Structure 1
């Protein structure tokens, strides 16, 4: 199948397929005699794998490691688990940071009268930083 068909089958845009190929995340596609990319079921499955991993928030570097492990049928699962656990820890830290930001903004908004007066604790707090 051509790149458009592979895109449709995998849910990955043609632009991202080209990008993933350019950075070496996926192997270069075979080429037809007229130099068009040609994709088979293996490549489409890898693109689906990448799409799912991106949807779970894995970085391109992490996806590269996961893809390498996925391709290696002899790999120990502990390596995969370690990557997943590290990613969960990163997500938990980001969630905590975002919750702290939301709490701060919630409190600042509570303190703001939101009326015709010019004084605003939200702007005052931003100016302090």
Structure 2
């Protein structure tokens, strides 16, 4: 194996410790190759860790509970698997209910509003 001068890039005999052309201290090519391999390995490991963190972060942003709601203002939540209706109370005391078809009703104790997903309209019931 030959040693390549880090200063002038000339090849020198393996037994040489200093460059025969410019006199700079020589490093074996095996040592340089090992450092390059280590750098590539660290880059791959770092890239994989960064990718995993990114995937976890993105999936957490879009995740929801089994009923499809990620609203932090929900105080209680009940799901009836026979009817497919989820109902409960919000943290400000309003009652709500919605089904798997996107129909939703919200009541503040005085007025009730119903959203119909098929028409995209909100109806007020007194």
TM-score (norm 1): 0.31
Hey, which of these two has a bigger chunk of strand by percent? 2
Larger radius of gyration: 2
The structure whose residues are more often helix, as a share, is: 1
